[in-house]
């Protein structure tokens, strides 16, 4: 009897062990994620550089764990947090926090976040506020790649990275820099020339990431830039800047063609492209469906549309954040990020093209 019992309990132990194993594997859809981009996905890199563009003070983070300002440009979690949550990964640390003097012994096996508020494809976005440009972020990634090769060997690294996701959220600052009120770039080039330059530069940047092991690209397109409070504020009637919107949409179309081209040249690339532009316009045109009541004004700021002064400690902020699309003059609220990422992850065409991130992760 005793013997039988222990066989039975061993059996149950074994089954629950298998279930636990399975569970752990199912929870984590990819081994790692590496994020490149701008303030939409910055989780604190700018805290570590001498940039004027920071968010590590109130009222940012007012709805974050512990009501803490972390460097995220929003009231709570941002797109980077929600996407890794969906994938079953822990929140990715900002790269610069890991390499800071006091933090030497970190591993990059689970991925890391390089994004920096103000970053652009082009370097000119640095003229406005210092940031880590996309090129610099890729430089840092190549160091990480070197570390991985040292620890896992070349084959082990390629195995890890080919399963990992590479999230890229970039282009908004390039557009805002051009269409902004005091831009001198307009005298230098047409919007069409700007897009040509952005897309050809981006092509080189994505190739570099590919050459450093990336195979699964999740590219989040730019939003309807012309509808962010800063742009509406430039229009006497408070309407969207239609020109900036047109070129934002066109940029996304050009990125779509670029990714298709890259895939046709390297068949082992898979990608998901998200149409942030259309989703944002949906929020604005049909706010009820998404639980929003305020789609024009920022929640935190001062002046017209709370878009004349950024979200600073002296600024006012709305009491209900979840019914606003915009947290400050440029950035969505946590509530908006959550809906964006639900669709990035689980959505279908035309928003997530040709597949969503859940499908991309499963490859």
Residues 142 to 201 in contact with ligand NAG, rule: CB under 6 A:
201
Q: Does 270 bind ligand NAG (CB under 6 A)?
A: yes
Asked about 63 being catalytic, the answer comes back as: no
Name which of 216 and 338 has its Cβ closer to ligand NAG: 216
- Tokens 């940029």, located at residue: 251
CA-CA distance, 183 to 186, in Å (whole number)?
6
Question: Least CB distance from residue 129 to ligand NAG, whole Å?
Answer: 15
Number of residues that bind ligand NAG (CB under 6 A): 24
CA-CA distance, 61 to 48, in Å (whole number)?
18
Question: Least CB distance from residue 253 to ligand NAG, whole Å?
Answer: 20
Asked about 39 being catalytic, the answer comes back as: yes
Name which of 272 and 315 has its Cβ closer to ligand NAG: 272
Among 237, 264, 285, 319, binds ligand NAG (CB under 6 A): 237
Name which of 242 and 342 has its Cβ closer to ligand NAG: 242
User: Which residues, 6+ apart, have CB-to-CB distance to 23 below 8 Å?
Assistant: none
Q: Does 123 bind ligand NAG (CB under 6 A)?
A: yes
Name which of 123 and 322 has its Cβ closer to ligand NAG: 123
Name which of 100 and 151 has its Cβ closer to ligand NAG: 100
Options 48, 59, 249, 331, the catalytic residue: 331
274 closest CA partner among 124, 170, 132: 170
Among 56, 106, 183, 322, binds ligand NAG (CB under 6 A): 106
Question: Least CB distance from residue 1 to ligand NAG, whole Å?
Answer: 51
Name which of 5 and 237 has its Cβ closer to ligand NAG: 237
Site string for ligand NAG, 195-234 (x = CB under 6 A): ------x---------------------------------
Name which of 120 and 301 has its Cβ closer to ligand NAG: 120
Residues 77 to 96 in contact with ligand NAG, rule: CB under 6 A:
93
CA-CA distance, 130 to 133, in Å (whole number)?
9
Question: Least CB distance from residue 112 to ligand NAG, whole Å?
Answer: 9
Distances in Å between the Cα of 232 and the Cα atoms of 236, 284, 301, 316 are 8, 13, 14, 19
Distances in Å between the Cα of 246 and the Cα atoms of 22, 195, 227, 285, 325 are 47, 12, 11, 16, 20
Question: Could you give the maximum distance between any two Cα atoms of the chain, in Å?
Answer: 90
**Nearest to ligand NAG by Cβ — which residue?**
239
Question: Quick one: residue 180, left, alpha or beta (phi over 0 = left, psi -120 to 50 = alpha)?
Answer: beta
Asked about 42 being catalytic, the answer comes back as: no
Dihedral angle, C-alpha 325, 342, 276, 270, nearest 10 °: 160
Please identify, among the stretches 8-16, 51-59, 240-248, 286-294, the one whose residues bind ligand NAG according to the rule CB under 6 A. 240-248
Residues 316 to 355 in contact with ligand NAG, rule: CB under 6 A:
355
User: Which neighbouring-strand residues pair with 112?
Assistant: 34
Q: Does 284 bind ligand NAG (CB under 6 A)?
A: no
Question: Least CB distance from residue 233 to ligand NAG, whole Å?
Answer: 11
Options 38, 39, 174, 230, the catalytic residue: 39
Q: What residues act catalytically?
A: 39, 328, 331
Which residues bind to ligand NAG, rule: CB under 6 A? 93, 97-98, 100, 102-103, 106, 122-123, 133, 135, 201, 235, 237, 239-242, 267-268, 270, 355, 359, 363
């Amino acid at each position: 009897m005793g013997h039988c019992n222990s066989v039975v309990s061993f059996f149950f132990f074994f089954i629950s062990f298998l279930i636990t194993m399975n569970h752990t594997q199912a929870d984590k859809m990819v081994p790692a994620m590496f994020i490149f981009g701008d303030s939409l996905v910055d989780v604190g890199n700018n805290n570590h550089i001498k940039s004027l563009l920071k968010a590590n003070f109130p009222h940012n983070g007012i709805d974050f764990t512990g009501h803490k300002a972390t460097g995220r440009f929003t009231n709570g979690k941002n797109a980077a947090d929600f996407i890794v949550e969906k994938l079953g990964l822990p929140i990715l640390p900002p790269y610069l926090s890991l390499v800071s003097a006091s933090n030497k012994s970190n591993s990059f096996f689970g991925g890391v976040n390089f994004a920096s508020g103000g970053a652009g494809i082009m370097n000119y976005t640095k003229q406005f506020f210092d940031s880590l440009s996309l090129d610099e972020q890729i430089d840092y990634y190549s160091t990480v790649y070197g570390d991985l090769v040292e620890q896992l060997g070349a084959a082990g690294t390629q195995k890890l990275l080919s399963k990992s996701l590479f999230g890229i959220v970039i282009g908004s600052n390039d557009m805002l820099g051009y269409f902004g009120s005091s831009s001198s770039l307009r005298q230098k080039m047409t919007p069409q020339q700007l897009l040509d330059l952005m897309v050809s530069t981006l092509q080189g940047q994505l190739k570099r990431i590919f050459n450093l092991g990336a195979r699964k690209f999740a590219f989040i397109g730019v939003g309807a830039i012309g509808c962010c409070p800063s742009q509406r504020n430039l229009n006497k009637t408070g309407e969207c800047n239609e020109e900036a919107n047109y070129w934002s949409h066109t940029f996304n179309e050009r990125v779509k063609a670029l990714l298709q081209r890259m895939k046709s040249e390297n068949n082992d690339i898979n990608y998901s492209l998200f149409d942030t532009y259309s989703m944002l316009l949906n929020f604005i045109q049909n706010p009820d469906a998404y639980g929003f009541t305020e789609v024009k004004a920022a929640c935190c700021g001062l002046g017209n549309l709370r878009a004349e002064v950024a979200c600073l400690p002296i600024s006012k902020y709305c009491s209900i954040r979840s019914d606003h699309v915009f947290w400050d003059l440029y950035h969505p609220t946590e509530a908006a990020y959550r809906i964006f990422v639900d669709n990035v992850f689980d959505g279908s065409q035309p928003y997530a093209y040709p597949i969503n991130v859940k499908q991309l992760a499963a490859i």
